[in-house]
Amino acid sequence: MGWVQNYEPLGGLWGSAALAALPIAALLVALGVARRSAHASAALGLGTALAVALAVYRMPVDLLASSTLLGLVFGLWPIAWIAFNAVYFHNVTVATGRFESIRAALAGFSPDRRIQALLIAFGFGALLEGVAGGGSPIAITAAMMAALGFQPVKAVVLALLANTAPVAFGGLGNPLIVLGTVAGPLMDMEPATATELFSAMTGRQVPLLSLIVPGFMMVVLAGWRRAWEVWPAVLVTGGGFAAMQFVVANFVSPSLVDVVAALTAMGALWALMRVWQPPSVWRFEGEESAPDGGSPAAGTAGTSPAHTGIRAWTPYLILVAVILVSRIGSLFPALPAWANVTAWLQSATLEIPWPGLHERVVRVAPITSPDAPYPAVLTIDLLYSAGSVALMAAVIAGLVMRATPAVLARVYWQTFVQMRWALATIMMILAIAHVMNYSGATSTLGLALAQTGFLFPFFAAFVGWLGVFLTGSDASSNSLFGPMQVVSAQQLGVDPILAGAANTSGGVMGKMISPQNLSVGATAIGQTGRESALLRQTFGWSVALTAVVGLITLAQAHLFTWMIPG
């Protein structure tokens, strides 16, 4: 049988949940109140998680050690691998001087910082999330804005806020595909059918948020009055994105939602700027005299006219093209084998049942029905990983921009030195998540939030929020809590499709406070150790927006049931 999880080790759910939450509380207090660095806070959280698993849940020492090691390795691959190569890609554009061309091209689009934030953080960030995900949009867009002269911490805050809109359908719809796979059998549905229904339901929730996220960004960046000055840009950007999210999620495929929505949003903003401009150009204090829209501190290197316009964006066009080619099999399943690059890349994938842990822990009702061994398999997708694809794109783009192999190697080492603490943070955060998962602590917290009766749809969003906070990934949150949400909904008489979608939609709001994403963003702008400042600026928004998702879900469960797809 193996070791059986006990979700009420103290004999009562709420008392058990209070102790299960200690690792999260320790992490948040250390990071947000004591203002410790992300890696120090993560170390404290990991130590607390180990103590709770051992003393409260009575997890055997060998299983505890194995789950910790699996979390550390999983944090390295694929999570840290993706973030590292996303930052490396940006560093290559800077080292080759091409970023000066991009800066000039953006200034040509608009010298207004508000418009630049909408284009880079919201539009381009959503495109990167749609084709890759994994933290790369935060790293790349934050670094781009900081290099353009945005105040570094503000650049990361904007990137984190903007990233909420596309996360539910990120990585070519991976969160919904994962949810359909793990929850479909619990509803007697084929995974593909369940994925379509979850996609449609999520597409009737997150567009409402996509409408308001650009407005939130403008308020955070420039204040209410200055935000109101660009309401046409906010409306066309958020409106175009939201409309395409709804249409593609409901009538096409979850894999294409973010790509189509992001291109629509950027195209709509471009069209608007041809016929409308803000009443006054808004820049940061002290840079009004900068004629090119950049910060005087950002550098004054000249830019060849030949490198402006489309050529300026060559590195990022290469990045998007390489990612799309790597995912072409998901977009066009009927491709012949010789043209299916996706299948080629996926063939170099290893699946390793983790020694000493795989199926040695047993999950029981109501988390699973019937009782089932908990798998522990490490998947190493050597070529298909978004991190590997970003590395390929960085090398190709670097060679196109005439960087020598020696330069590419030097930048790679510099990126490692730059990100060493962020990598350690990511590994420890995932170790916390794995210890809590395999000990049963995560399920205790989820069950406690699910015991809310009429208000369950509201709190279902916070269960997803908790999952993404712990793992940094909406797909991982769906894998972790999706089955529990579906089972709990069935027991309470709530539509399970709605509950699964709430886990996805609520989860996206946890992305902006996930310590691993805070660490990646801070490192990308050279501000390692400032994660506490980022958390303080995003935590309130995260909770408030999750509550909005919860209210939407509650209304759909009890008032607007016609919005739930059949």
Structure tokens at 345: 């890349």
Contacts made by residues 338-343, CB under 8 angstroms, sequence distance 24+: 342/384
CB atoms within 10 A of CB 72: 17
pLDDT at 186: 65
Cα separation, 103 vs 270, in Å, equals 17
By CB neighbour count within 10 A (0-12 exposed, 13-18 middle, 19+ buried), where does 100 fall? buried
pLDDT at 101: 79
Cα separation, 362 vs 2, in Å, equals 6
Cα separation, 113 vs 97, in Å, equals 22
pLDDT at 290: 45
pLDDT at 185: 67
Q: What is the dihedral of CA 100, 101, 106, 108, to 10 degrees?
A: 120
Cα separation, 7 vs 59, in Å, equals 12
Angle, alpha carbons 181-389-431 (nearest 5°) = 60
- 68 Cα distance to chain centroid: 23
Cα separation, 551 vs 17, in Å, equals 24
Cα separation, 177 vs 257, in Å, equals 13
Cα separation, 263 vs 240, in Å, equals 9
Cα separation, 246 vs 240, in Å, equals 10
Q: What is the dihedral of CA 377, 383, 385, 386, to 10 degrees?
A: 180
C-alpha distances out from residue 225 to 230, 330, 354, Å: 9, 44, 55
Cα separation, 547 vs 558, in Å, equals 16
pLDDT at 169: 87
Beta bridge partners of 363: 372
DSSP state of 112: -
474's enclosing H/E stretch is: helix 474-492
pLDDT at 355: 94
pLDDT at 300: 31
In this structure, what are the phi and psi dihedrals at residue 372, rounded to the nearest 5 degrees?
Answer: -150, 140
pLDDT at 295: 39
C-alpha distances out from residue 218 to 229, 239, 307, 472, Å: 10, 15, 30, 25
Torsion sign (Cα): 179, 182, 184, 186:
negative
Average pLDDT, 10 consecutive residues per value, the chain (566 residues): 92 93 88 80 93 97 96 82 80 83 74 92 87 74 86 90 88 79 73 87 92 92 92 95 93 83 92 91 71 37 47 80 83 85 91 94 85 88 85 93 94 89 82 88 81 88 86 76 78 88 92 83 79 86 92 93 88
Beta bridge partners of 350: 380
Torsion sign (Cα): 295, 100, 232, 260:
negative
pLDDT at 302: 38
Beta bridge partners of 3: 361
Structure tokens at 111: 């010298």
Q: Which of 168, 346, 330 is nearest to 246 (CA)?
A: 168
Cα separation, 10 vs 15, in Å, equals 7
By CB neighbour count within 10 A (0-12 exposed, 13-18 middle, 19+ buried), where does 450 fall? buried
**Do 211 and 507 touch, CB atoms closer than 8 A?**
no
pLDDT at 304: 44
